Structure 1
Amino acid sequence: MMSIPANLYPGLNDIVDVLEQFPLETSRYLTLLHEIDAKCVHSTPGLNDRIDKFAAVEGFEVDKRGLLGQMNALFEELMPSLEEKMHVSSIMLEALQRLTTRLELAYEVAIRNQEIPTSLRLGVDNHPAMHLHHELMDKIDAKSNGGATGAAGARTSQALRSESRREAMVANKRQIAVPSDLVDDPAFSDFETAKRGTSTGSNGPTDKKRKRRANVNTVAFPDDPIGPNSDSKQRTNEYGELLYCYCNQVAYGEMVGCDGANCELEWFHLPCIHLDHIPKGKWYCDDCKKRKN
């Protein structure tokens, strides 16, 4: 007979136990607090009534002194119950803090043992932000593992995951056209003209065959059409900003330009192409490499 592990998911089992104890502990202490309040069901309304009368009386007459004496007697009667409520509340807080700490430890155990699937814990990972996150995490893992074999294996798995994500994103987002209302908007035209003028003025005339590598703060994006259909293939977001790279995002950080004659994506973020630094000489993206071959 096949043996079944006694505790297959220790982290998740402990999380379930803690979640079951939360309402039990809370209801137990809240019941005690309600029982303490029941002891004061007559004293508290009487005290509130005398406080209202004391505030309504003008001057410091004999009646007001009598009200003060009655209020003092009611306070002395209520004091043990108030102290008991404070004690129960402090015990309840400590119990809930212990359960919270236990829940956090159980969650760490579940994450460490990979008891929760990544797709369920983080959701769909084809978002550009998650794409960059995975690139950075894979790079950190490769450095922490050490060794040539380990680093090469990490880079290989990273390349496979990135390739699949990249193909999906390019297929879904490559053909993004500028909305017609933005094209006809004078403000949009002025924005594009000013942006191109600033880029060209600070970096000189643009040439497709020059070395297209720079930081986003100093980069001069191409001003002239790259191909016969380049105007229709330029991609922008809803704010009219040009989009680049496999991740279909605006320019940021260090970027490298493809030296292909009719490259559609033009500029690429270094993390998206698995580079730590700007390459020397000519560089071609995967699409242009396929066309050349």
Structure 2
Amino acid sequence: MRVHTGKTELTCVLLDMCVTYRGEVLGVHYMDTTDNMKNNYLDESDSHAVAGTRILLEMDIKKDEEVLHTSEYVYLATGASSLCHTSNFQWKRNVDVYLVVSVKNLGVWVQHLIHNVEHIYKVTGDERFELVIVDYQSGDLDVAAELRASSLPRWKVISMTGGFSRSGGLQAGIDYVTNPDAIVMTIDMHLTLPPGFVEYTRRHVVQGKMGFAPMFYRLNEGRTEVTRAGFWETLTYGLLGMYKSDWTTTGGFDVQKYTTKWGGEDWDAVDRLRSKGLELFRLGYPGLVHYYHTRAGMWGH
């Protein structure tokens, strides 16, 4: 396959790998390129057997000592030999991203999350994201004080009363965001988010078209990122990102049905997303890991 970018022509050999999304197959390709390529990049595709394949193509192109990074969705029609630009399906750069989590107690894990997100900021310098912690009267940590002591330029604590509700807390975080053109991504405390997580989210959420539910690697008991052993978790949508306008269109979380019930609220939200005609992209994200934990001391356990 040849990719034409102005006067620079790149010859790419695509090697197939696959990940599974609810019975569909998404091709994932690695690019072996000419010397014009500065780096090899992951090239993801969503295959549709009849129409063709939509590809997120990412490359660093070097020309006369100048490096240009490109990341955009292109389309390869079935039987075609050239790529097409998808003008009605593109991700937006420099979009605000809100990371929303609902918590009660478990202060050590809340500290872990804050330090993790702080690391993202220090590595990337990205000031267009905000950590939103919805706190149900935690008694073991002053969440606001912890955030004030951090280096994060943007954060918000929303105080809630009553019994803990994951769906209610996440919905409160979603409602806090007023900009319809911002992305809201629900997250969890028991994770390590890679430094590129915020930008990765931007690239996989398309307004009015597609949400994103990255899959994480669930570590077995006693395992760490160094001594890892576990499996890719495909049966949860605990991390779910959409534009605020799409959260509004889909109705968000069912806070009545899942008031204090823990589990199932994410599947329900995905069903709402699909019922409105939006796609959902799933991909195992290297470096996104979930730590083993018991439910002892957690909300009602």
Shared topology, TM-score over 0.5?
A: no
* Bigger Rg over Cα: 1
Place the TM-score, normalised by the shorter chain, in its bin.
Answer: under 0.3
Give the alignment's TM-score, normalised by structure 1: 0.22
Which has the larger strand fraction?
Answer: 2
Give the alignment's TM-score, normalised by structure 2: 0.21
Which has the larger helix fraction?
Answer: 1
